[in-house]
């Protein structure tokens, strides 16, 4: 295994590029690695996963390096010579070959240079589409009727899975035209269908699936009394009419008209590029959206788009020269679950958390992951000591998707959930999937108060944790509103607080009464909201009265709030309504200075004149990374919205521009990779000042230094 480790023992990402892998030191080690790879492949096609994708890729890379260094070692069943698993009874019309891999933009440019050399000229165009994380199949249609479906198998012959695959979504029983063709593509599970499939398995007394990829492979080849939801996406076809076969993109478009689901129709889409620099940008853009697609991809497939270019470039012994796969870092890894902790949130929600042996997932070292809720934990039968699958797609919080039950230690005990609240010892309300202390917010009064007084919320200077502990212990306060009833004599009588400090603290507390409504909402800690959404809510409704009176339908008009989130927020607001009234009674501000104009409808003139509004009235999406002079991180995001924009915490192809200041990290790098416009933090601070002082000329001049910001988003 080529799993590197840092000096402190933390696991890093395995090496998956064969060019960087070290060969085995002995033939026995090489043959053992081949045997392990074949076992892993067999387990995968049976619906299990003995090692994770990154470790398999690393294993494959080292086998490749060994065969390059010692050609005489190569065995007939090496994974470099055999595609997939042993074949079946169905002979493929043409071999179903695998595709080569690259791992960075340098590798992509090297592949393009080799393609240009094979063609004798630069490729005319390229197609860029998602590499679906599923099981490759070939589906044959005779006069428009589906007659046979076979797995890839060893690339030359595959298994007949026609009966199991007839209900796969996206693979119609009849095409819209009576053509005789063979369609090739991937059978996979969407994220939503993976959850449904796990529930079906449990209902029939079987363990949940390890992950969507192995679930799709196993379900397609298994004979069961129930149907697991599966989907199909085409990436190629043979036998198409000539007028639809002059390019890959045209072939895929024609398949879509026949009723077959294709990569072009998916949320990932298919992009045609004119040069390799455009390809690199398209690959980066798709990688940035990886966690938002609703299904798993492990890379991007790049092909010479024109059929004539493909024919001229030809094939090597194992893969086409005209195509390659840009592999992403694995978003699912396996590691050891050290223990299961329980955390209690400030609103009383009780959650199990997995403490993990450090592992790198998607380029980030992960040491803990969510287990969602206790019902899900029991359903997946995850135990301390297990080898578990850890998933992190895009910017999603790491989660445990399942355990490798075959590798479970014999002494691993089933997890026992808490019978009392771990924080206060009170009863637990188990009425919902997310358990909660029966005392609700009262259980976490200290955590709630700390959050209310924090810099990102009401920012009460001089009120630290020790003073809060003393105030709670003496009964001077029970909630945030009680802070505004404190006086100098009461505080001065406490330990470590004299008259001067007490006077300053009372003044600091009083000053927060003028904070905007968005800060108050943030401080209340409403579930399923945060700083950004609290600002959005405050600017949408304008006043607390309007917020409390809003109907579910009105809540769903707020960007980022759907029906489920609206229901939770409404219930939370009802719960804290007495506290809100108490705060208002102490004179705490309940209005947003900018009012609802910032989130007015695009055709409204209410948002006109704001620098970060497009001509049609829609807000630009802006990411702030690093420090902005004179502003905290939260104030930088608030400034974006004050200027009429939409603040985002993640960089994607839909971002209009990125504000980059001192200390900027990966977001600035991703912005550069995507070719996004960048605005220096100093200029952003000048833009804010110009807007506040009404200096529209300066604001316009600054914005003109940022390309594309005045254009509608794609």
Q: Catalytic positions, please?
A: 131
Residue 399 among known ligand-binding residues: no
Residue 421 among known ligand-binding residues: yes
Residue 98 among known ligand-binding residues: yes
Decide: 352 and 416 in contact? Cβ < 8 Å: no
β-bridge pairing 657-660 and 621-625: parallel
d(CA 280, CA 104): 9
Decide: 92 and 155 in contact? Cβ < 8 Å: yes
Decide: 377 and 352 in contact? Cβ < 8 Å: yes
Centre a 10 Å sphere on the Cβ of residue 440 and count the other Cβ atoms it contains.
Answer: 15
Residue 273 among known ligand-binding residues: no
List Cβ neighbours of 54 (8 Å cut-off, separation of 6 or more). Answer: 13, 14, 16, 329, 330, 333
Residue 154 among known ligand-binding residues: no
Q: C-alpha dihedral over 165, 166, 170, 172, to 10 degrees?
A: 150
* H-state helical runs in 301-357: 307-313
DSSP 8-state code for residue 21: P
Q: In a 3-state reduction of DSSP, which class is residue 316?
A: coil
Decide: 334 and 364 in contact? Cβ < 8 Å: no
Residue 424 among known ligand-binding residues: yes
Decide: 194 and 134 in contact? Cβ < 8 Å: no
Residue 143 among known ligand-binding residues: no
Residue 57 among known ligand-binding residues: yes
Residue 54 among known ligand-binding residues: yes
CA–centroid distance for 160 within its chain: 35
Structure-block tokens of residue 4: 């590197």
| Angstrom distances, CA of residue 226 to CA of 137, 167, 195, 423, 517 | 21, 12, 15, 43, 53
Beta strand extents in 225-287 (DSSP E only): 231-238, 271-273
Residue 99 among known ligand-binding residues: yes
Structure-block tokens of residue 694: 């009404």
d(CA 298, CA 283): 12
Structure-block tokens of residue 586: 């102490």
Structure-block tokens of residue 568: 């939770």
* H-state helical runs in 131-190: 162-165
Give Rg (Cα) of the chain.
Answer: 29
d(CA 179, CA 156): 24
Q: Which residues of 155-174 are buried (b: 16+ CB within 10 A; e: fewer)?
A: bbbbbebeebbeebebbbee
List Cβ neighbours of 109 (8 Å cut-off, separation of 6 or more). Answer: 276, 280
Decide: 331 and 224 in contact? Cβ < 8 Å: no
d(CA 56, CA 37): 7
Instruction: Tell me the sheet residues that pair with 354.
Output: 340, 369
Residue 56 among known ligand-binding residues: yes
Residue 327 among known ligand-binding residues: yes
CA–centroid distance for 255 within its chain: 29
Structure-block tokens of residue 85: 């698993």
Instruction: Tell me the sheet residues that pair with 370.
Output: 353, 399
CA angle 374/380/384 to nearest 5° reads 80
Structure-block tokens of residue 571: 């219930």
d(CA 393, CA 406): 25
Q: Which residues of 660-695 are buried (b: 16+ CB within 10 A; e: fewer)?
A: bbeebeebbebbebbebebbbbeebbbbbebbeeee
d(CA 645, CA 534): 15
Decide: 260 and 172 in contact? Cβ < 8 Å: yes
- Return the residue matching tokens 């960087």: 20
Residue 531 among known ligand-binding residues: no
The binding site for Zn(2+) consists of: 421, 424, 443
Q: Which residues are annotated as a binding site for NAD(+)?
A: 53-57, 98-99, 129, 152, 186, 303, 327
- Known binding-site positions: 53-57, 98-99, 129, 152, 186, 303, 327, 421, 424, 443
């Amino acid at each position: 295994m080529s799993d590197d480790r840092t000096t402190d023992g933390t696991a890093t990402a395995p090496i998956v590029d064969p060019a960087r892998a070290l060969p085995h030191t002995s033939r026995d080690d090489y043959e053992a690695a081949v045997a392990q790879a074949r076992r892993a492949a067999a387990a995968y096609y049976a619906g299990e996963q003995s090692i994770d994708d990154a470790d398999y890729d690393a294993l494959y890379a080292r086998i490749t390096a060994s065969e390059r260094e010692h050609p005489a070692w190569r065995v007939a069943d090496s994974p470099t010579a055999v595609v997939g698993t042993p074949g079946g009874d169905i002979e493929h019309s043409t071999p179903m070959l695998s595709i080569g891999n690259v791992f960075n933009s340098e590798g992509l440019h090297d592949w393009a240079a080799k393609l240009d050399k094979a063609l004798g000229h630069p490729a005319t165009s390229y197609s860029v589409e998602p590499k679906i994380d599923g099981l490759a199949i070939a589906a044959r249609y005779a006069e428009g009727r589906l007659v046979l479906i076979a797995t890839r198998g060893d690339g030359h012959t595959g298994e007949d899975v026609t009966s199991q695959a007839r209900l796969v979504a996206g693979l119609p029983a009849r095409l819209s035209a009576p053509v005789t063709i063979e369609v090739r593509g991937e059978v996979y599970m969407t994220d939503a269908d993976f959850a449904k499939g796990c529930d079906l398995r449990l209902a029939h007394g079987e363990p949940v699936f390890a992950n969507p990829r192995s679930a799709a492979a196993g379900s397609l080849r298994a004979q069961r009394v129930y149907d697991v939801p599966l989907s199909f996406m085409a990436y190629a076809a043979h036998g198409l009419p000539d007028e639809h076969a002059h390019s890959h993109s045209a072939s895929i478009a024609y398949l879509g008209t026949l009723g077959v689901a294709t990569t072009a129709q998916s949320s990932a889409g298919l992009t045609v590029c004119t040069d390799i620099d455009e390809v690199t940008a398209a690959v980066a853009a798709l990688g940035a959206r990886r966690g938002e697609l609703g299904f798993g991809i492990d890379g991007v497939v790049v092909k010479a788009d024109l059929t004539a270019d493909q024919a001229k470039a030809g094939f090597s012994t194992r893969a086409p020269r005209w195509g390659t796969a840009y592999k992403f870092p694995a978003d699912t890894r396996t590691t050891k679950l050290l223990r299961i902790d329980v955390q209690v949130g400030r609103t009383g929600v009780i959650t199990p958390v997995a403490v993990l042996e450090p592992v790198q997932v998607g380029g980030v070292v992960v040491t803990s992951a969510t287990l969602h809720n206790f019902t899900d934990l029991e359903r997946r039968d995850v135990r301390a000591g297990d080898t578990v699958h850890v998933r992190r797609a895009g910017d999603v919080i790491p989660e445990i998707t399942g355990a490798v039950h075959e590798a479970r230690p014999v002494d691993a005990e089933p997890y026992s959930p808490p019978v009392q609240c771990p924080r206060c010892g009170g009863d637990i309300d188990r009425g919902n999937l997310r358990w909660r202390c029966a005392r609700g917010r009262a259980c976490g009064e200290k955590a709630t108060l700390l959050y209310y007084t924090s810099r990102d919320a009401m920012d009460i200077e001089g009120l630290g944790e020790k003073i809060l502990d003393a105030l709670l212990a003496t009964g001077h306060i029970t909630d945030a509103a009680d802070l505004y009833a404190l006086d100098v004599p009461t505080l001065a009588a406490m330990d470590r607080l004299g008259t001067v400090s007490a006077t300053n603290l009372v003044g600091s507390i009083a000053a927060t009464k003028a904070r905007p409504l968005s800060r108050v909402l943030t401080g209340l800690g409403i579930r399923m909201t945060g700083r950004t959404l609290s600002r959005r809510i405050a600017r949408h409704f304008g006043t607390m009265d309007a917020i409390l009176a809003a109907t579910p339908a009105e809540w769903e008009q707020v960007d980022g709030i759907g029906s489920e989130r609206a229901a939770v927020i409404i219930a939370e607001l009802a719960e804290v309504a007495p506290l809100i009234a108490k705060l208002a009674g102490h004179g705490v501000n309940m209005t947003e200075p900018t009012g609802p104009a910032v989130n007015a409808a695009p055709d409204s003139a209410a948002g006109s004149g704001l620098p970060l509004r497009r001509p049609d009235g829609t807000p630009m999406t802006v990411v702030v990374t690093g420090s902005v002079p004179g502003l905290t991180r939260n104030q930088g995001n608030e400034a974006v919205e004050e200027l009429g924009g939409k603040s985002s915490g993640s960089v994607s192809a839909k971002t209009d521009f990125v504000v980059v200041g001192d200390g900027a990290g990966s977001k600035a790098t991703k912005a550069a990779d995507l070719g996004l416009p960048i605005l220096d933090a100093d200029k952003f601070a000048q833009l804010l000042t110009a807007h506040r002082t009404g200096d529209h000329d300066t604001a316009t001049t600054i914005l003109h230094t940022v390309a594309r910001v005045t254009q509608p988003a794609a």
